[in-house]
Amino acid sequence: DLEVGHQLEYPKEMQNKYIVSKTLGSGACGEVKLAFERDTHTKVAIKIIRKSKFMTDVLPEMQDKPFNIETEVGILKRIDHPCLIRIIDFFEGKDFYIVLELMEGGELFDKVQRPARLSERTCKLYFYQMLLAVQYLHKHGIIHRDLKLENVLLSSREENCLVKITDFGQSKIIGETSLMQTLCGTPDYLAPEILHFAGTAGYGRSVDCWSLGVILFMCLSGYPPFSKKSARPSLTEQITSGNYCYIEEVWKDISRDAFDLVQKFLVVDPTKRLKIEEALEHPWLQDEHMRHTFQQLLAQTQNMRVKPEPLTLVPPGRKRDYHEDEKTGP
């Protein structure tokens, strides 16, 4: 069947290293499979990016934005942070296969679906980690550009767990722009529109801050700030006017500090929107207990070094079990 079909189509070198199992999730470009590394039996996640399903095939207007696997894999190979997903392997065959660390808790998206709601304490623990992850990205000139609940993964089914951001398929690396070079020289002959444009350039990072505001709103309230459910105003009008849906019944149980932080992210003018560094200094996140919990979770993962197998010495005189000889087999 389809499963077997795909099994046979995985690259040989990937099949030699991993046993691919069930589907964990699926998105626009393919799905994520659970897999087991043959040698160590560790569980991994394999993200399959179907070549055939690139938007360029189905959406002609995507022709000028071909999917850039190099960006996603290139960024994954460069980043190193406990709150960002780690790449383990990469294979190219009929499709692209990115082997990533497995996050047993799955997507944050599934924890925020009504009627399920996260406690404010848990929202704070998760959001603090998202801020640290995005602070790291922005410091390294990377804008994620697709931050959403589906791209925030939980390391375990425990409520107190590590959170990691994934999916860098839409990310952008901010390089030295020609505008920056232009502005280094004297503007004697520079047209005014270039200087006007310079006033708004470089706000790419702020798009991630808006998305974080939407994520925090949904984690705290359980519903989206902007939605197409209400016909008027339209979804785009709600967003461009910053007109989020405020349900008193829901927000009355949530602290002022939490809602204040949401409001400072959901600011339409990117120059006035809260930045990551400012958010990390916001009163809601000056919570020593929460930060201590995060440090403890981090320490646990660093202590989970692979412990060497205890030596099983066979006491003298005892018959060796039949299978032990196999270990010394060819």
Ligand X SMILES: C/C(=N\O)c1ccc(O)cc1O
The catalytically annotated residue of 146, 188, 253, 325 is 146
- Token couple for 21: 């199992």
**Does the active-site annotation cover 146?**
yes
Min CB(256)–ligand X separation in Å? 34
What are the angstrom distances between the C-alpha of 311 and each of 108, 126, 161? 41, 40, 33
For residue 20, list its beta bridge partners: 35
CA angle 201, 206, 210 (to 5 degrees): 145
All residues at 6 or more sequence positions from 276 whose CB lies less than 8 Å from its CB, including other chains: 131, 134, 135, 138, 205, 208, 209
| Contacting residues toward ligand X, per CB under 6 A | 24-25, 32, 45, 47, 85, 100-103, 106-107, 153, 166
User: Based on CB atoms, which residue is closest to ligand X, 102 or 215?
Assistant: 102
Query: Which of residues 155 and 211 has its CB atom nearest to ligand X in the complex?
Result: 155
**Nearest-approach distance from CB 216 to ligand X, in angstroms:** 21
Give the β-pairing of 152-154 and 163-165: antiparallel
The whole-angstrom separation of Cα 209 and Cα 134 is 9
Query: Residues with Cβ < 8 Å from 93, sequence gap 6 or more?
Result: 9, 10, 11, 14
Cβ-based nearer residue to ligand X, 98 or 220: 98
H helices within the chain, ranges in order?
Answer: 2-9, 12-17, 55-58, 69-78, 120-139, 178-182, 192-200, 205-221, 235-240, 248-251, 256-265, 276-280, 288-303, 322-327
Min dist CB 179 to ligand X, Å, is 35
Nearer CB in complex with ligand X: 153/266 = 153
Q: Which is nearer to ligand X, 86 or 264 (CB)?
A: 86
Smallest gap, in angstroms, from Cβ of residue 41 to ligand X? 17
* Minimum distance, C-beta of residue 45 to ligand X, in the bound complex (Å): 3
Q: Residue 31 is encoded by which pair of tokens?
A: 């799905």
Residue 100: closest CA among 2, 7, 25, 9: 25
Tokens of 34: 């659970």
Which CB atom, from 72 or from 107, has the smaller least distance to ligand X? Answer: 107
CB of 31: closest distance to ligand X in angstroms?
Answer: 9
Catalytically active residues, by annotation: 146
